[in-house]
Amino acid sequence: MNPSLILFTALVVMALVAVLWAVLAPLPEETAPVVDTNAEDFQPRHTQHFPQLRQTLDLNDTRYMRQKADPALQKRWIEERRRILSDFLAGLAQDFARLDNLGRTVASLSPKLTLKDELRRLSLNFRFRINFRLARLWIFAGGTLALARLRYLTSLIGELSARTSLEMARVTPPSF
C-alpha cells in the first residue's frame, strides 16, 4: 500500500475519534455529584456575569499592555486573563450541567416528552461540549476568539434554561 494513503487514513481516523470524544465524552462538571436541592439552585449563576467579563477583557487593554507594559508585567497580565477566562468557562460548564440535570429530571416527569424534544436536548448538549472544548483550546492558546466562544456558550445556556422552563410548565398543573 501507498504510505501516503496509510498516513491519510490514520489522520482521518484520529480526527474522527477526536470529534467523537468532543461530542460524546461528558465534561467533568457533568459527572460531578449534584449537591443542589433547591430548584433555584439549578438556575445559571455565571452567565449573568458575561457582560462584565467582556468589558474587562477588552481588546483595547491588550493593545495597551503590548505597547506600554514591560514583558514581565505583560506575562503576568496574560496569565491572569487566562485564569479568569478558564474560571468563567468552568462556571459556564457548572451552569450547563445543573440546568441539564434539572431538564433531565423534569423530562422524566413529563408525560408529553417527544422524541423531538429529546433530540433538541441532545443537540444542545453536543453543541455545548464541542464549543466548551474549543473555548478551552482558544483560552490555552491565548486566542482572541475565546470571547466569541464564551458568548455562544452563554447563549446555549440561555436556550437550555428556556427549554427547561417550558418543560417545567408542561409538568406543572395549572393553578385555579
Please tell me the distance from the alpha carbon of residue 111 to that of residue 59, in angstroms, as a whole number.
49
The cell numbers describing 136, all together, are 478551552
Alpha helices in 69-114, H assignment, sequence order: 71-109
Which residue carries 428556556 as its cell?
162
Domain contains 127: yes
Q: What percent of the chain has pLDDT over 70?
A: 79
Domain contains 9: no
Q: What is the pLDDT of residues 42-99, one digit of tens each?
A: 566 677 767 777 776 776 677 787 888 888 888 888 888 888 888 888 989 999 988 8
Segment 99-108 shows an average pLDDT of 84
Helix, strand, coil share of the chain (percent; to 5): 80, 0, 20
What does the pLDDT read at residue 42?
Answer: 59
Residue ranges making up the domain that contains 102: 48-169
Q: Are 82 and 139 in contact (CB under 8 A)?
A: yes
Q: Are 117 and 70 in contact (CB under 8 A)?
A: no
The pTM assigned to this predicted structure is 0.75
Count of the separate structural domains present in the chain: 1
